[in-house]
Structure 1
Amino acid sequence: MTDPIIVLATTLVFFLAGAVKGVIGLGLPTVSLGLMTVIMDLPTAMTLMLAPTFITNVLQATTGGYTMVLLRRIWPFLFFATVLVWPGGLVLKEADLSLMAAFLGVVLVAYALTGFFGLRMTTRPERERGIGVVTGAVNGVLSGMVGSYAVPGVMYLQSLELPRDQFVQAMGMLFLCTTIALGVTLSGTNLMTLDMGLASVLAVVPAILGFFAGQHIRKKLSEGLFRTLFYVALLVLGAFIAAKALLF
């Protein structure tokens, strides 16, 4: 991480990713991974995003005042989304990195399409726990494999029709638990070195600056318009990453 061009690109990526999170409450891992895998391998990109993601998610997960209410309702989902990151990380260690990058592209495209077209599911109260376990398990494995925290976890949380403040805090709780689990997984599989850990810590600065810039932008920009542009950009980026990994 001594190449000035790589350092500059990393700084800009995390500023942009932080800004996205500041505007819509999610997207830092998705945007940072999507852009960083254009210039580096997937495990390195996943390692770099850990500290910025952790710091911003601590703020989001602890703000709102609904911690105990949410834990009582979604703890099975959070539990499986956390513990199954490890098996996903083992797959990452042994798998073909080009294939994993292509899979990340597919995940980005799927996430973009569901958001762009407003697709969402509704979960009946009596089925919340069972669906939460399955969704959490899938989310955990995917997080370990490709570092994408949102699919299908955010869609499940949307299906619960939580009030806006609870929904934002619940996303923060999911992202925080997954970030911690991913950090432990990458360390345990020797994918995260001391140098990369330090680089990840340094990436917190542009991410935080971007986060506050995003909050400022949110006051001036229609959130609906921004979401549309965000999902279109993810669709294009995901398709590019998948094509690049499979064809080049």
Structure 2
Amino acid sequence: MEMLGLVVAVFVFAGMVKGALGLGLPTVAMGLLTIVIAPFQAASLLIIPSMITNIWQLFAEGRVWALVQRFWLLLLGIMVGTIFSIFPTLSEASGKTSEILLGSMLVIYGIYGLWVKQLPDLRAYEKWLSPLIGYLGGALIVSTGVIIIPAVPYLQSLRLKRDDLVQALGLVFTLSTICLAIYLQLHSTANMQIDYRLAWAAVIPALLGMWLGQKLRYRIPEQRFRRFFFVGLISLGAYMLLH
């Protein structure tokens, strides 16, 4: 019951962040859960709620096939990266190694979010950058459970319209979650198993959190909410690195 209560609280909060900003559910949930449970188990709890919320985000607008046609090299890179990761994976690394990688990603992303005001325009380099960014993102998701770095800054640097950016993020997050689910299923053991009951129990809190976050979006200025979010990521990442 204590674990169920923790999962509910974490996913309500993580869903609220995603509802307000369009991203952040796996990042926040993974960061908080790995404080008390192993990274492999934490990642397994993300699969079902992440998949449902990402599909919701992906199909909220049209143009899905157009985005697939544009970003197929990025998507291919993600798949290759999950198969041939250059980093210690969730099943291979010790819990501390995964925590260090994840904590570092949270700190880097938090600093990026606070201080990078204008990203370079990378549209001219998209064809050769997409497979590289995709590979790094795929390699990191099977090492940390999240794909925020470098996928999110890269997509933001392509000067997409707001709705296209949110939908492109949904596309990347959906594919990466599928790849992570396959990876976890193939590498589950007696000591590292996927708890589908808890994963399903996280769905309603995550959706409730998204609904609250969408309401919150219209009550709190987005820039202020983003500032709180990124400061929180830096604090959480620093804690994971130092404790």
**TM bucket normalised to smaller:** over 0.9
Moved more, 92-101 or 230-239: 92-101
Question: Residue 34 of structure 1 aligns to which amino acid in structure 2?
Answer: G
Please, what TM-score do these two structures have when normalized by structure 1?
0.92
> What is the DSSP-based 3-state SS (H/G/I as helix, E as strand, rest coil) of the residue aligned with 2:149?
coil
Alpha-carbon shift at residue 79 of structure 1 (Å):
1.6
Please, what TM-score do these two structures have when normalized by structure 2?
0.94
Task: Report if aligned partners of 2:45, 2:198 keep a CA contact under 8 Å in 1.
Answer: yes
Alpha-carbon shift at residue 90 of structure 1 (Å):
6.9
Unpaired runs of 5+ in structure 2?
A: none
Task: Report if aligned partners of 2:8, 2:201 keep a CA contact under 8 Å in 1.
Answer: no
Task: Report if aligned partners of 2:89, 2:144 keep a CA contact under 8 Å in 1.
Answer: no
Aligned match of 2:97 in 96, 99, 109? 99
Aligned match of 2:144 in 135, 143, 146? 146
Instruction: Tell me what 1:82 maps to.
Output: 79
Alpha-carbon shift at residue 119 of structure 1 (Å):
5.1
- Alignment map for 1:46-85 (pairs within 5 Å): 46-85=43-82
Q: How many residues align?
A: 240
Instruction: State whether structure 2 residue 29 is matched by structure 1 residue 29.
Output: no
Aligned match of 2:7 in 7, 10, 20? 10
> What is the DSSP-based 3-state SS (H/G/I as helix, E as strand, rest coil) of the residue aligned with 2:89?
helix
Aligned match of 1:155 in 149, 153, 156? 153
Question: Residue 146 of structure 2 aligns to which amino acid in structure 1?
Answer: S
Distance between the aligned counterparts of 1:45 and 1:120, measured in 2? 34
Instruction: Tell me what 2:109 maps to.
Output: 111
Alpha-carbon shift at residue 149 of structure 1 (Å):
1.6
Distance between the aligned counterparts of 2:25 and 2:241, measured in 1? 19
Q: Deviations over 1:59-118 (max 9, x none)?
A: 111122121221222110112113322334973212222111111101100011111112
Distance between the aligned counterparts of 2:143 and 2:176, measured in 1? 12
> What is the DSSP-based 3-state SS (H/G/I as helix, E as strand, rest coil) of the residue aligned with 1:94?
coil
Distance between the aligned counterparts of 1:37 and 1:128, measured in 2? 34
Distance between the aligned counterparts of 1:153 and 1:96, measured in 2? 25
Instruction: Tell me what 1:174 maps to.
Output: 172
Task: Report if aligned partners of 1:114, 1:120 keep a CA contact under 8 Å in 2.
Answer: no
Task: Report if aligned partners of 1:87, 1:144 keep a CA contact under 8 Å in 2.
Answer: no
Instruction: State whether structure 2 residue 36 is matched by structure 1 residue 39.
Output: yes
Question: Residue 193 of structure 2 aligns to which amino acid in structure 1?
Answer: T
> What is the DSSP-based 3-state SS (H/G/I as helix, E as strand, rest coil) of the residue aligned with 2:188?
coil
* Structure 1 stretches of 4+ moved >6 Å: none
